[in-house]
């Protein structure tokens, strides 16, 4: 019965392979690292670290200082020619859409630089000024991690991967990150459309 034996062995390999594939792709839902990290925070919100930051005004704060507010975070570096300009535009739109809750202190926008050596407070201030074509008021900070360890902690918790682009800049998995008032990362959203982010925040705030 050599044919039957080969059939049995093949079936066993296929079943084992299917099980391994299923486990490695979150039941065939996530085939890329990016999809995986988004699915993971949806299922199990991630506690964000209390890393020290320096804002565009030079003030020292902690990431944990924003507890009690909805926190919308993106990652930037101010020398960025493409993505970060787009992200800046999106955050400006979010400032408009969430103007109400921002004014009430319920929402905070935060851009964190992963290039802290270059992005000193004056650079961060210039980035914000460049992105706000008019003064939309407060509620949007830009900041850099104070020490490399803090930056590593933040990158790990958020699942941000930064690689050199070979042109002196960086490429990173750019997205908009939502942290709830308990300090947990609960959602990661695509660039290109700030609508869903604003919607989720307004929904959670009961509007």
Partner 1 sequence: MHLRHPGRFAALALLVLLAPPLRHALESSMTAQMLLQLPLLIGVGSLLAQALPAPGLARIARWNHLGISGLVLASVASAFWMLPRTLDASVIEPLVAAAKYLSLPLLVGLPFALSWPRMSFIVRGVFLLEFIATFFRLGWLYLISPERLCNLYLLGDQQRLGRYMLVIGSVLFLGVAGKLVWGRFELPARPTFPPSEG
Question: What length is written for the chain?
Answer: 207
Q: Which residue carries 């296929």 as its tokens?
A: 14
Work out whether 95 is an interface residue with partner 1 (CB under 8 A): no
What's the closest the beta carbon of residue 13 comes to partner 1, in angstroms? 5
Task: Give the contact letters, 142-181, x = binds to partner 1 (CB under 8 A), - = no.
Answer: -------------------x-x-xx----x-x--------
Interacting span for partner 1 (CB under 8 A) from 12-20, 67-75, 77-85, 113-121: 12-20
**If you write DSSP's letter for every residue of 49-87 in order, what string do you get?**
P--EEEETTS-EEEGGGGTTSEEEEEEE-TT-SSHHHHH
The three-point CA angle 164-131-154 to 5° equals 45
Question: How far, in Å, CA of 59 to CA of 57, rounded?
Answer: 6
**Nearest partner of 136 among 96, 89, 195, judged by Cα:** 96
What's the closest the beta carbon of residue 21 comes to partner 1, in angstroms? 7
Interacting span for partner 1 (CB under 8 A) from 7-15, 43-51, 140-148, 193-201: 7-15
- Residue closer to partner 1 by CB (options 20, 50) is 20
Q: Which residue carries 């507010």 as its tokens?
A: 69
**Are 162 and 150 within 8 A, CB to CB?**
no
Of the candidates 22, 24, 105, 118, which one interacts with partner 1 according to CB under 8 A? 24
- State yes or no: 163 annotated in a binding site: no
The footprint of partner 1 (CB under 8 A) covers 2-3, 5-10, 13-14, 16-17, 20-21, 24-25, 30-36, 161, 163, 165-166, 171, 173
């Amino acid at each position: 019965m050599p044919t039957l034996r080969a059939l049995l062995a093949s079936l066993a390999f296929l079943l084992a392979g299917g099980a391994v594939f299923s486990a490695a792709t979150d039941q065939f839902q996530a085939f890329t690292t990016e999809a995986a990290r988004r699915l993971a925070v949806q299922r199990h919100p991630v506690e964000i670290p209390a890393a020290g930051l320096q804002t565009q005004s030079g003030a020292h704060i902690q990431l944990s200082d924003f507890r009690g507010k909805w926190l919308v975070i993106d990652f930037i570096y101010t020398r960025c020619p493409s993505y970060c300009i787009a992200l800046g535009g999106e955050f400006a739109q979010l400032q408009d859409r969430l103007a109400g809750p921002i004014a009430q202190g319920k929402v905070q926008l935060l851009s964190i630089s992963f290039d802290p050596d270059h992005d000193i407070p004056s650079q961060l201030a210039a980035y914000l000024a460049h992105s706000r074509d008019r003064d939309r008021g407060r509620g949007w900070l830009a900041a850099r991690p104070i020490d490399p360890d803090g930056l590593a902690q933040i990158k790990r918790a958020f699942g941000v991967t930064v690689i050199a682009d070979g042109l002196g800049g960086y490429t990173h998995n750019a997205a908009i990150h939502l942290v709830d008032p308990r300090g947990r990362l609960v959602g990661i959203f695509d660039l290109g459309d700030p609508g869903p982010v604003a919607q989720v925040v307004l929904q959670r705030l009961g509007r």
